[in-house]
A and B are shown apart, each in its own frame.
Chain A
Amino acid sequence: MYVAGLDIGSQSTCAVIWDGEKIRGVALRPSGVNPKQRAEEVLENALREARMSRSSLGKVVATGYGRYQVEADLRVSEITCQAKGVAFFFPQVRTVIDIGGQDSKVILVDPKTGKVLDFLMNDKCAAGTGRFLELMAEVLEIDPGEYGILAEKHQEDVTLSFTCAVFAESELIGLIAQGKTKADLAAAVCQAVAKQVVRMAERLNINPPLAITGGVAQNRGVLYFLEKEIGLKPLVPPEPLLTGALGACLST
């Protein structure tokens, strides 16, 4: 049976077509303001890549914050889906940190059964999420994709407040006025996100192996500081944005 997994996140919407053994098609686009319509488009794109029609799908499983806005046969939380999606790539994984657009999650997984043992999600603040990186990129006048390259070049350690995105923004403006370099500030932003996530993850005890998913897993700067803070080299799935949608397929 062919299954479509749809992950409708706050920032991006992904679709995966699964044939019971392997991935047949994938598609990914920013969620935009109409998640329902975007989910339809993404599903169509994934089906096109898989060379399939909608009628050949046995099931559609939705996850992500928009899972109740689309038509689906099953709706599963993003926590369960992330755990399942990551286990597909790394069956031994025991901790998953998913840093999404508007929230981050820490998930403890039982590698023997693949079941979620415990989880935590961040509170209502954008600090420690992809949105924080975007906001700070606007202040630094850089593309979020440049964080990694800039952070590698940093010379001085600058500490940024990481409890509130709005405070951090004004702090950043102050630091720019003091003449700090873009590289140092980009590194400071990445470090702030990493610290915020680690602070939450430590409440649950991080058991190795650890995997990182979500859009932020593609940010080399944040990964560098996460590794430094935790003292562990995290695993990153080949497509860290698709693990939720893949996990949705595997939840049937």
Chain B
Amino acid sequence: MHKKSAFLLQSISFLLERPTLFALLKPYLWWLQWKNPFPTLAQFSYRITLENVLTLYGRKKPVVWASLFFPAEFIYALDGAPFYPEITAGLFSALGVGAIPLFHAESHFFSADLCSYHRLSVGASMLRFFPRPDFLCATSGICRETVPFFQTLAELFGVPLYLVDIPHEFSPKTVRYVASQLRSIAQNLKRDRRVTWDFERPFELAQKTQTVLQEIEALRRKKEVMILPPTKNLDYLPYYYQFMGSETSLSFFQKLRDELRQNPKNPLPHRLLWLHLKPFYSNFLSALLTELGLGIAFEEFAATYSGELKPKEPFQGLAEKITVMSHALMDEKARIARILQWVSEYQTEGVIQFNQWGCRQSQGMNALLRKTLRGEGVPVLFLDGDHIDRRHHTEEQWRTRLQAFAEMLGG
């Protein structure tokens, strides 16, 4: 690497590892609050991002890294600050700074075939761009790459990793098995880190958030209103996962619901279901979908859990949540059944899946998914590319496929 860039990268990591430096954000946050006591959704998101930076990099609380399907409620219950590297990889990509960590990981033998959510996260961890974790929690669902990825992170930072094994099949026995693992992690944390647990508040907030989310879903089911720009909802991923069980998620979704109620947009001619995530670095795709009249009525990763979380049996409830949500994505039949249900509930005319380069979880099911959907008369389009690594994308190829799909739906 060029000496100047190496020095720059080292300086950035040095600064990011100085918690006191982030205290400088406080007056700015205070000013933001004073200036916008009733912030819009975008202003709210901006403030939350900065507050999160302050908490995580300023080391206000124990920083707990988790895989996407490890519930944040567990982390809030131990008064930790959850950090989801896979979600942050999306943020880095959206901010246009993904190339540096991707390149760093690749130059250290992390293959370019490895899923870019993990590749970017490993690179950012090696460069110390991500906030240093106190410990890590991960589940073996939904994809087989997650475990080795978290093992690598544990080794990189020299911190403990708490793993939850998720069996493929779903049954009461599986839920009990997952609950017993969560219980034992909780006991270990109590013993090793003197953690005290309080599930009451995060569970209450998560349940309230679920209610608001159900109201949002009801609004989005209405055919006459298309209330979010295509794929926009996937930018709200942190509120579905990282902040679930906190005031942040609840306030965000209350705000979103109110905005949707007040400002319904004109519907686009077509209503579609979006599977998997999207390229976060590109605004082109959303603009293209709008231009072609392809509206997105619902997204697979915006699916929420509607089961009850009881503070008296916290591990049972959380185990059920993890198992239900993972099973719905890991199991071909369960996933496809859920997709068909959304097609009917949201009255969508077709389905688009944005295939992530190297993702076995989603693409392994493509043949059956396509066959079943076509059998039900539902057109399906697979778009190939990468959600994080812009080197794998070509806008004109998306345009031709999407335009042909729109013509097929419209013709």
Restricting to B380-411, which residues have a CB under 8 Å from any CB of A? 384, 394, 396-397, 399-401, 403-404, 407-408, 411
Q: If A115-B411, A118-B379, A123-B384 touch, does A77 touch B404 (CB 8 Å cutoff)?
A: yes
Q: DSSP class of A's interface residues: helix, strand, loop or mixed?
A: mixed
Please tell me if the beta carbons of A65 and B408 are within 8 angstroms of each other in the complex.
no
Q: How far is the CA of A65 from the CA of B394 in the complex (A)?
A: 12
Please tell me if the beta carbons of B408 and A124 are within 8 angstroms of each other in the complex.
no
- In the complex, whether B374 has a CB less than 8 A from a CB of chain A is yes
Q: How far is the CA of A76 from the CA of B400 in the complex (A)?
A: 9
Chain B neighbourhood of A115, CB < 8 A: 408, 411
Checking A75, A124, A203 against B397 with a beta-carbon cut-off of 8 angstroms, the contacting residue is A124
Please tell me if the beta carbons of A79 and B397 are within 8 angstroms of each other in the complex.
no
Please tell me if the beta carbons of A79 and B374 are within 8 angstroms of each other in the complex.
no
Q: How far is the CB of B218 from chain A (nearest CB, A)?
A: 33
Q: If A118-B379, A123-B384 touch, does A80 touch B400 (CB 8 Å cutoff)?
A: no
Q: If A79-B407, A80-B411, A116-B408 touch, does A121 touch B394 (CB 8 Å cutoff)?
A: no
Q: How far is the CA of A123 from the CA of B404 in the complex (A)?
A: 16
Q: How far is the CB of B371 from chain A (nearest CB, A)?
A: 10
Checking B374, B379, B384, B407 against A77 with a beta-carbon cut-off of 8 angstroms, the contacting residue is B407
Q: Number of contact residues on B: which range applies?
A: 10 to 19
Please tell me if the beta carbons of B404 and A124 are within 8 angstroms of each other in the complex.
no
Please tell me if the beta carbons of A119 and B404 are within 8 angstroms of each other in the complex.
yes
Q: How far is the CB of A79 from chain B (nearest CB, A)?
A: 4
Q: How far is the CA of A119 from the CA of B370 in the complex (A)?
A: 12
Chain A neighbourhood of B408, CB < 8 A: 79-80, 115-119
Please tell me if the beta carbons of A124 and B401 are within 8 angstroms of each other in the complex.
no
- In the complex, whether A78 has a CB less than 8 A from a CB of chain B is yes
Q: How far is the CA of A75 from the CA of B396 in the complex (A)?
A: 14
Look across to chain B and name the residue whose beta carbon is closest to the beta carbon of A75: B403
Chain B neighbourhood of A123, CB < 8 A: 384
Q: How far is the CA of A245 from the CA of B407 in the complex (A)?
A: 17
Q: How far is the CB of B107 from chain A (nearest CB, A)?
A: 22
A56-81 to B contact mask, C-beta < 8 Å, 1/0:
00000000010010000001111110
Q: If A118-B374, A118-B379, A123-B384 touch, does A77 touch B400 (CB 8 Å cutoff)?
A: yes
Q: How far is the CB of A14 from chain B (nearest CB, A)?
A: 17
Q: How far is the CA of A144 from the CA of B132 in the complex (A)?
A: 58
Q: How far is the CB of A201 from chain B (nearest CB, A)?
A: 14
Cβ contacts A to B, 14 pairs, < 8 Å: A65-B400, A77-B407, A78-B400, A79-B400, A79-B407, A79-B408, A116-B407, A116-B411, A118-B379, A119-B408, A121-B397, A121-B400, A121-B401, A124-B384
Name A's B-contacting residues (CB within 8 A). Answer: 65, 68, 75-80, 115-119, 121, 123-124, 203
Contacts A76-B407, A203-B367 supplied; 16 other A-B pairs, CB < 8 Å: A65-B396, A68-B399, A77-B400, A77-B403, A78-B404, A79-B400, A80-B404, A80-B408, A115-B408, A115-B411, A116-B404, A116-B407, A118-B408, A119-B404, A119-B408, A121-B397
